[in-house]
């Protein structure tokens, strides 16, 4: 799993030229893949919105991200727990949750789809976004 994480880090690297162009990231789907992408994007300073179909899915995504961030902070800031707490708090402050697809994509710089692998559902999603 290290390779996808490294690739995501490069895509959302705060030192890349893309950071200037991409400030707001919207991720459709907060499952394992979507929440992982959201976490990396938020860690690198981007404003992130996760869009899901219901409140329970949003809460689950947020809880998973928080748990993962705490693990990362524990490893990165093992000698400075206060810095680790700040890292988690700052990253979570850049994370927004929504069930409003249309409103969430209106002013975003990039939309990342991480929903169920069903081509008809994906077509419907992108048709809705295109409108």
Domains in the chain, number: 1
3-state secondary structure at position 37 = helix
Residue 73 domain-assigned?
yes
Tell whether 1 is covered by a domain.
no
In a domain, 70, yes or no: yes
Among 11-15, 49-53, 122-126, name the one with the lowest average pLDDT: 11-15
Tell me the pTM.
0.83
Is residue 6 in some structural domain? no
Q: What is the pLDDT of residues 30-54, one digit of tens each?
A: 999 999 999 999 999 999 999 999 9
Q: Is residue 66 part of a domain?
A: yes
Report the distance separating Cα 20 and Cα 16, nearest Å: 8
Report how far residue 112's alpha carbon sits from residue 87's, in angstroms, rounded to the nearest whole number: 24
Q: Is the dihedral of CA 18, 119, 57, 69 positive or negative?
A: negative
CA–CA separation, 130 vs 108, rounded Å?
Answer: 13
Give domain status of residue 16, yes or no: no
The single residue listed with the structure tokens 């249309």 is 102
Average pLDDT of the segment spanning 5-33 = 72
Residue 49 sits in which domain range?
Answer: 22-130
Q: What pLDDT shows up at residue 131? A: 84
Work out the average pLDDT over 98-122. 96
**pLDDT tens per residue across span 69-93:** 999 999 999 999 999 999 999 999 9
Query: Could you tell me if residue 110 is inside a domain?
Result: yes
CATH of the domain at 95: 3.40.50.720
Asked if the structure places residue 125 within a domain, the reply is yes
| Pairing label, strands 24-28, 95-98 | unpaired
């Amino acid at each position: 799993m290290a390779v996808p994480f490294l690739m995501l880090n490069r895509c959302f690297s705060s030192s890349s030229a893309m950071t200037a162009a991409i400030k707001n990231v919207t991720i459709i789907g907060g499952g394992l893949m979507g929440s992982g992408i959201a976490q990396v994007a938020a860690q690198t300073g981007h404003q992130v919105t996760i869009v899901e179909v219901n409140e329970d899915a949003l809460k689950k995504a947020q809880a998973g991200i928080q748990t993962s961030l705490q693990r990362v902070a524990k490893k990165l800031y093992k000698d400075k727990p206060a810095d680790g707490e700040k890292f988690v708090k700052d990253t979570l402050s850049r994370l927004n949750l929504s069930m409003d697809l249309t409103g969430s994509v209106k002013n975003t710089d990039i939309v990342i789809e991480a929903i169920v692998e069903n081509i008809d559902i994906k077509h419907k999603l992108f048709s809705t976004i295109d409108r």
